[in-house]
Copies of this chain bind each other. A is one copy, B any other.
Amino acid sequence: MQLPYYIDLLGTLVFAVSGALAASDKNMYRDIFGVAFTGFVTAVGGGTLRDMILGVRPVWVADGNYLIVVTLGVLLALFFKYYFLKFRRTFFLFDTMGIALYTIVGVQKSLAFGVSPLAAIILGMFSAVMGGVIRDTLINEIPLIFRKEIYATACLSGAALFVLLKSLGVDDNVNAFSGVILIFMIRILSVKYKWTLPKVGYR
């Protein structure tokens, strides 16, 4: 199962909204350009890094629809900020579905371009989280993936499950579905029950 085109666009929209909201929250990017730029980087940064490593042209460069969707996401964030904040839980579910889908799309694309299974797992995770990492680095913050509950690790787990099932010869539809669900579940449960990874006990 190649995840359909419109799902990829939907993920881009969700990430553009969440990136633009993050910028406005920090009160650092105070003008419209800053918010738009942040939404753009969050939405396309991870996939762009993955594609540059794979040696292929990022999808938003050739297909103008992605940039239209990013613009739409930024406008939504600007005009409906209070709505998004009010329905924070709904938005959290969207964002979680976004990283789950992006991860598996990233793994599939990486494998299709002939990378090793281990590299595909890492590049899948990159697709989902590196947009946020680049955004946080630009606004001079420790990237969220190092501060919050299990996040990138959920992506790595789902990506690893996909690669494992694929190596066992399981049908690709099942693999993709299983990977997405695993990421979704780990992320939801880790927030709900405040799971964290083992701390490294240095002093």
Contacts and interface: CB of A to CB of B under 8 A. Distances in A.
Interface in A1-53: 24-25, 27-35, 37, 40, 48, 52-53
A78 interface: yes
A110 B60 CA distance: 13
A196 B81 CA distance: 22
A117 B64 contact: yes
Interface string A135-148: 00111111101100
A107 to B, nearest CB: 13
Contacts of A30: 199-200
Q: Give the residue among A30, A32, A198 with the most B Cβ atoms within 10 A.
A: A30
Interface of A: 24-25, 27-35, 37, 40, 48, 52-58, 60-64, 67-68, 78, 81, 114-119, 122-123, 133, 137-143, 145-146, 150, 152-153, 196-200, 202
List 5 A-B pairs, minimum CB-CB distance, nearest first: A31-B197, A64-B116, A67-B118, A24-B202, A61-B119
